[in-house]
Structure 1
Amino acid sequence: MKKVLLSAYACLPNQGSEEGTGWTYATTLSQNDLTVHCLTQLKGEAVITPMLQYFPNLTVHYVTLPAWVEKAYHKGLPGMYFHYLYWQWKASQLARQLDKRHQFDIVHHITYGSLQLGSFMYRLGKPFIFGPVSGGQQAPASMKQYFGAYWQREQMRTWVSKLLEHVNPGFYKTLRQASRVIVTNADTDALARRYRPVQPIERMLDGGISLSFVPETLVEHPPGAVLKLLWVGRMLPRKALELTIQALGKVNPDLPVELTIVGGRGDLVDQVPHYIEKYRVDNRVNWVGHVTHDEVKQYYRQSDVFFFTSLRDSGSHQLLEAMAYSLPVVTLDLHGQAELVNDGSGIRVPVTDPETVSDQLARAIEWMAAHPTERLTMGRQAHKFALTQLWETKIRLFVDEWYPAMLLPEGEERMVSEQVRNTIGAYTSNDKLMDS
């Protein structure tokens, strides 16, 4: 079996976001006739070790850092970036030692999925695949009011990201030396091409959904007396829950509408009651707080429309989950969500200024209420698209196409690369699927 070394700083079972992505890649690859060695953080050892009995082809190696570096992680955004870059350097040293022993065929960086933070795995000099990664998105300054006191932190993130383009060798050397670079959205694609103008850059839509999460049969949402909206996520500034609630406050008061908010963690969790009071929607909001991953399925089943108003996102796992449950989407025409959703599966509102955007989101709600038949059609199209984004299927693309191509001589590899770009349609373009 071919041996793959996986760099997954974030990697934990039964988690969402980057942690879940790292674990999904490590385990799924190991179940596809590959021997996988995964580098990750020491803090995951207690949770990961008992799980390894179920994955005989997976070995996890924990990168140990000095105590003072571990403490830096909790020192704000600069501390977190420093922790990650230091971990990467130590991971590359361990990777070299492991390569002498195991002679890896392929090196693959998965998490963090950030273009600017890059990877030091290029130092092994082996066939190296970087991604999928994002990082080209920036929150629009016109919408900064929804970040409140956290807008300065958001600006710092943008500034540090630009700085890393020039001072982080893991960024510019990876883009020059990687055999494959895979990005998740148009914003990141444009940034990557500035530093990798000639070599190919592949596209794969961000996120994925496990087959075990998808309902066994198509979920129907028959119209009822009340239009039920759903918002799911952490109360982070960039997720802009306030914008959703503001839009709800502008919906015709005679229209029976209810918004269910699922989530009870994040920087702005204490502000949720204030938003509800500010926009006078206490009779239209049901805030259920944090629920388990399994419990959220019931809210997908019980709802009519999924609302997603993130102001910086490469693509949301919750968005794909909702689409798998046949929910049409109201979102912003921005970043990753603009590529996951199209006119066949939802409504995308252009980002201009807060008043205009919230007005148009309110009109989108009213349209959904007035067009139940079209709403159901959108939900079915959303479900159809979600089925193309199964983790099991997307990761097979690496196993069947990208990994083998990287092990061919350069000329043959380039020819196979063209074949791959012509066959991955649905993984990289929602529009291609909807037009088929």
Structure 2
Amino acid sequence: MKKVLLSAYACIPNRGSEQGTGWVYATTLSQNNLAVHCLTLKDGKEAIDPILADGLYPNLHVHYVYLPAWVDGLVDKTLVGMYFHYLYWQWQAYQLARQLDGVHQFDLVHHVTYGSIQLGSFLYKLRKPFIFGPVSGGQRAPKALKRYFGRYWSREWMRDWVGTALQYLNPGFYKSVQMADRVIVTNRDTMALVERLRPNGPVERIWDAGLSASFLPAAPIVRAPGSTLKLLWVGRLLPRKALELTIQALGSVDQTLPITLTIVGGQGEMADQVPQYIEQYGVSDRVNWVGHVSYEQVRTHYAQSDVFFFTSLRDSCPHQLLEAMAFSLPVITLDLHGQAELVTDSTGLRIPVTNEEKVVADLARAVEWMYSHPNARLSMGRAGYDFAKTQVWDQKISAFINDIYPATFSTPVQTARQPSAQAT
């Protein structure tokens, strides 16, 4: 049985985002005749240990990387504190990995979370066949729409600045990119960044969002067009999610049309601004803000809506879009970053990012088009469902198990690769 060392800083069962992604990789790989040794934060220990004790994943071995208390105290302080915490963890993870490799002699090393290319991994130093990704980080929020970040634009600017600096200062970034046997990215923005540093490749692209098989309805949802068009927005109320843009666009929709918006989400820095947005754009009679709801309630909202509205200004590969398409919802989104790749002309409408006035107007016209074309909505929903079926986690990870891992096992270890001058 081949032995895989998995680097998953974020890895907690029954969570969303990267924490759930790390757990899915660890468990799914271990169920496919691979002995998986997963390095992760201690944060998941309380949830993970009882599951392992039950013997559900006999081929999965989880190793918690412990950090000093003063380092743990920095993770929620500032953006720089979070980055420092992650880099410190990466270094400690490498030290533990060396010890474990001395015992287990791993056949392959795979980094999956965080999926941030600039923060990288130090596991290339093990000089084992190494897969880096899927990773993202090439996305930049458009300055033309920076107003929607409010007072948080300076933090977004700092994120971009630090990310650029790390490309030159963090060896975990540039050496991972240059020395990995496989670099896998999740969107075109990141592909362009990697190709500049790795001109001879290979660089591959795999979306890092996926669905559990249990989330996908057994068949497409066929909605009989009703008298009211029901829009849905789902997500954390973060500055980059630009909920204000969605509400502003709704305010520009023809007031005579019966159109409503349900907002699902109650956590995030912009939560206290939502009532102000609703009042400012005159849509109090059109918006239902339900706040934070349970997993099953989110599914209900997907099932009961007609169109999914998503106006994030920076996203690598949004999970919400796959969830919406799984419930046969057509999508209105921006022609930007990951959403521009997940959504096609057959599954939704993508609005070019130009200036605020035009973007708002174009989003409003897209809503009106959806109202006026019920048959096209249904067709987009069916196409979305068919696409979502191809993005189930078991199928996505099978690409690693059946194709990428076997090819990497047979690839000579990259100890002889000559790094560029930047990597010396």
Partner in structure 2 of residue 430 of structure 1: none
User: Counterparts of 1:286-301 in structure 2 under 5 Å?
Assistant: 286-301=288-303
Q: Which amino acid aligns with 2:345?
A: D
1:212 counterpart SS class: coil
User: Counterparts of 1:16-415 in structure 2 under 5 Å?
Assistant: 16-52=16-52, 53=54, 54-410=56-412
- Answer whether contact 1:320 1:386 (CA < 8 A) is retained: yes
Q: Which amino acid aligns with 1:381?
A: A
Q: Matches of 2:7 and 2:208 in 1, distance apart?
A: 18
How many angstroms does 1:409 deviate by? 4.5
- Answer whether contact 1:185 1:206 (CA < 8 A) is retained: no
Q: Which amino acid aligns with 1:390?
A: V
Q: Which amino acid aligns with 1:67?
A: A
- Answer whether contact 2:129 2:411 (CA < 8 A) is retained: no
Q: Matches of 1:43 and 1:393 in 2, distance apart?
A: 28
- Answer whether contact 1:221 1:301 (CA < 8 A) is retained: no
Q: Matches of 1:173 and 1:369 in 2, distance apart?
A: 51
Q: Which amino acid aligns with 1:17?
A: S
Q: Which amino acid aligns with 1:140?
A: P
Q: Which runs of 5+ in 2 are unaligned?
A: 414-424
Mark the CA change 1:266 to 1:355 in structure 2 (over 3 Å): closer, same or farther: same
How many angstroms does 1:374 deviate by? 0.6
Q: Matches of 2:170 and 2:30 in 1, distance apart?
A: 31
Deviations 1:63-101 (A, max 9, x none): 010111111112210000000000000000000100111
Q: Matches of 2:99 and 2:296 in 1, distance apart?
A: 41
Q: Which runs of 5+ in 1 are unaligned?
A: 412-436
Q: Matches of 1:31 and 1:207 in 2, distance apart?
A: 20
2:73 counterpart SS class: helix
Q: Does residue 4 of structure 1 match 2:25?
A: no
Q: Which amino acid aligns with 1:166?
A: Y
How many angstroms does 1:55 deviate by? 1.1
- Answer whether contact 1:333 1:350 (CA < 8 A) is retained: yes
Deviations 1:89-134 (A, max 9, x none): 0000000100111111110000000111111110111000000000
Q: Matches of 1:106 and 1:35 in 2, distance apart?
A: 11
How many angstroms does 1:410 deviate by? 4.8
Q: For the aligned residues, what is the CA RMSD?
A: 0.9
Q: Which amino acid aligns with 1:306?
A: F
- Answer whether contact 1:4 1:106 (CA < 8 A) is retained: yes
1:3 counterpart SS class: strand
Q: Which amino acid aligns with 2:335?
A: D
TM-score scaled by length of structure 2: 0.96
How many angstroms does 1:205 deviate by? 1.8
Deviations 1:320-366 (A, max 9, x none): 00001100000000000000001110000000111110110000000
Q: Which amino acid aligns with 1:405?
A: A
Q: Which has the higher helix share?
A: 1
- Answer whether contact 2:181 2:411 (CA < 8 A) is retained: no
Q: Matches of 2:152 and 2:11 in 1, distance apart?
A: 27
Q: Which amino acid aligns with 1:44?
A: G
Percent identity, aligned pairs only, is 65
How many angstroms does 1:165 deviate by? 0.3
| 4+ long deviations beyond 3 Å | none
Q: Matches of 2:389 and 2:411 in 1, distance apart?
A: 34
Partner in structure 1 of residue 418 of structure 2: none
Q: Matches of 1:201 and 1:406 in 2, distance apart?
A: 13
1:12 counterpart SS class: coil
Q: Which amino acid aligns with 2:38?
A: C
Q: Matches of 2:2 and 2:295 in 1, distance apart?
A: 34
Deviations 1:167-186 (A, max 9, x none): 00000110111010000010
- Answer whether contact 2:188 2:337 (CA < 8 A) is retained: yes
Using the TM superposition, name which of 37-46 and 131-140 deviates more: 37-46
Deviations 1:230-265 (A, max 9, x none): 000000000000000000000000000010000010
Partner in structure 1 of residue 420 of structure 2: none
How many angstroms does 1:206 deviate by? 2.8
Q: Matches of 1:20 and 1:353 in 2, distance apart?
A: 35
- Answer whether contact 2:39 2:93 (CA < 8 A) is retained: yes
Deviations 1:11-70 (A, max 9, x none): 111111110110110111111111111000112111111112221111110001011111
- Answer whether contact 2:9 2:41 (CA < 8 A) is retained: yes
Q: Structure with the greater relative contact order (CA < 8 A, sep ≥ 6): 1 or 2?
A: 2
Deviations 1:124-171 (A, max 9, x none): 110000000000000000000000000000000000000000000000
- Answer whether contact 1:206 1:336 (CA < 8 A) is retained: no
- Answer whether contact 1:223 1:372 (CA < 8 A) is retained: yes
Q: Matches of 2:223 and 2:316 in 1, distance apart?
A: 28
1:72 counterpart SS class: coil
Using the TM superposition, name which of 217-226 and 6-15 deviates more: 217-226
1:307 counterpart SS class: strand
